[in-house]
Structure 1
Amino acid sequence: MPQPTAPVHRLVTSPAGRTHLVEQGSGPLVLLVHGFPESWYSWRHQLPALAAAGYRAVAIDVRGYGRSSKPAALEEYRMLDLVADNVAVVEALGERSAVIVGHDWGATIAATSALVRPDVFRAVGLLSVPYTPPGGPKPSEVFAQMGGGEEFYVSYFQRPGRAEAEIEPDVRGWLAGFYAALSADTMPGPGAPDPHFVGPGGTLRDRFPAGRLPAWLDEGDLDVYAGEFERTGLTGALNRYRSMDRDWADLADYAGAPLTQPSLFVGGGEDASTVWLSDAIEAYPGTLPGLTASHLLDGCGHWIQQERPEEINRLLTDWLASLKG
Structure 2
Amino acid sequence: MLRCARALCSRLPRGRRAFASSSPSTQLPMDGGDGAGDGIAHRTVAVNGINMHVAEKGEGPAVLLLHGFPELWYTWRHQMHGLAASGYRVVAPDLRGFGDTDAPTDTAAYSMLHIVGDLIALLNTLGQDQVFVVGHDWGSMVAWNLSMLRPDKVKAMVSLSQVFTPRNPMRKPLQYLKSVFGDDYYIVRFQEPGKIEEEFARFGTAWVLRKFLTYHNPGPFYITKDQGWVLPAPEIPLPSWLSEADIKYYTSKYEKTGFTGALNYYRCLDLNWELTAPWTEARIKVPVKFIVGDQDLTYHSPGTQDFIHKGGLKKYVPLLEEAVVMEGVGHFINEEKPDEITKHIYNFIKKF
Unpaired segments ≥5 residues, structure 1: none
Give the alignment of 1:224-243 within 5 angstroms: 224-243=249-268
Bigger Cα displacement from structure 2, 255-264 vs 208-217: 208-217
Among candidates 140, 156, 172, match of residue 174 of structure 2: 140
1:309-324 equivalences in 2 (<5 Å): 309-323=338-352
- What is the distance in 1 between the residues matched to 2:126 and 2:223? 43
Measured in 2, the distance between the counterparts of 1:83 and 1:222 equals 28
- 1:171–1:231 distance in 2 versus 1, CA, 3 Å: same
Residue 134 of structure 1, CA deviation:
2.4
CA shift at 1:209, angstroms? 7.4
| Residue equivalent to 1:256 | 281
CA distance in 2, matches of 1:320, 1:311: 14
Distance 2:242 2:118 in 1: 29
Q: Are the equivalent residues in 2 in contact too, given 1:131–1:280 (CA < 8 A)?
A: no
Q: Is 1:178–1:205's contact at 8 Å kept on the other side of the alignment?
A: no
For 1:281-302, what per-residue CA distance to the aligned partner results, in whole angstroms no more than 9, with x for missing partners?
A: 1312201111124201000000
1:275 is displaced (CA, Å) by 1.6
Q: Specify the alignment match of 1:62 in structure 2.
A: 95
Select 1:20's aligned residue among 38, 53, 57: 53
Residue 214 of structure 2 corresponds to 180
Q: What percentage of residue pairs aligned between the two structures are identical?
A: 35
Confirm or deny: 8 A CA contact 2:156 2:349 kept in the other structure.
no
1:195-254 Cα shifts (integer Å, max 9, x gaps) = 61244x888735997431122111000000011000100000000000011100000111
Q: In the alignment, what sits opposite 2:307?
A: 280
Give the equivalent residue in structure 1 for 2:153: 120
Q: What CA distance in whole angstroms lies between the structure 2 residues aligned with 1:154 and 1:167?
A: 14
Q: Distance in 2 between matches of 1:229 and 1:280?
A: 35
> Are 2:39 and 1:6 equivalent residues in the alignment?
yes
Q: 2:293 aligns with which of 254, 261, 268?
A: 268
- TM-score normalised by structure 2 residue count: 0.84
State which drifts further: 65-74 or 136-145: 136-145
- C-alpha RMSD over aligned residues: 2.2
1:51 maps to a residue whose letter is: A
Q: 1:130 to 1:209 in 2, by over 3 A?
A: farther
Change (3 A) 1:272 1:203: closer
The one-letter amino acid paired with 2:79 is Q
Q: Write the deviation string for residues 66-122 of structure 1: whole angstroms up to 9, x where unpaired.
A: 111111111100001000011111111111111111000110000001100111122
Q: How far apart, in 1, do the equivalents of 2:242 and 2:68 lie?
A: 16
Residues in 2 aligned to 1:210 and 1:278: alpha-carbon distance in whole angstroms = 33
Counterpart residue identity of residue 177, structure 2: F
Secondary structure, aligned partner of 2:350: helix
Question: What pairs with 1:105-116 in structure 2 (closer than 5 Å)?
Answer: 105-116=138-149
**1:294 paired to 2:323:** yes
Residue in 1 that maps onto 2:270: 245
Letter in 1 for 2:245: G
Distance in 2 (CA, whole Å) between partners of 1:60 and 1:320 is: 20
The aligned counterpart of 1:213 is 238
8 Å Cα contact 1:25-1:56 kept in structure 2: yes
Offset of residue 135 of structure 1: 3.0
Contact 1:16-1:71 at 8 Å conserved across structures: no
One-letter code aligned to 1:285: K
Q: Which residue of 1 aligns with 2:86?
A: 53
Aligned to 1:101: 134
Letter in 2 for 1:178: F
The range that moved more, 205-214 or 26-35, is 205-214
Q: How far 1:141 sits from its partner (Å)?
A: 0.6
Q: How many residues align?
A: 312
Q: Counterparts of 2:91 and 2:44 in 1: how far apart (Å)? A: 12
Which has the higher mean CA deviation after the structures are superposed, 59-68 or 126-135?
126-135
2:205 aligned residue: 171
Aligned partner of 2:222 among 194, 197, 204: 197
Report SS of the residue matched to 1:151. coil
Go from structure 1 to structure 2 and tell me whether the alpha carbon gap of 1:165 and 1:293 turns closer, same or farther (over 3 Å shift).
same
- The whole-number CA distance in structure 1 between the counterparts of 2:306 and 2:69 is 23
Task: Tell me which amino acid in the other structure corresponds to 1:42.
Answer: T
Change (3 A) 1:144 1:314: same
Question: What is the aligned partner in structure 2 of residue 303 from structure 1?
Answer: 332
Q: Distance in 1 between matches of 2:181 and 2:117?
A: 34
> By how many angstroms is 1:279 displaced?
3.2
Secondary structure of 1:44's partner?
Answer: helix
Please give the secondary structure, in 1, of the residue aligned with 2:290: strand
Residues 72/211 of structure 1: CA separation in 2 closer, same or farther (3 Å cut): closer
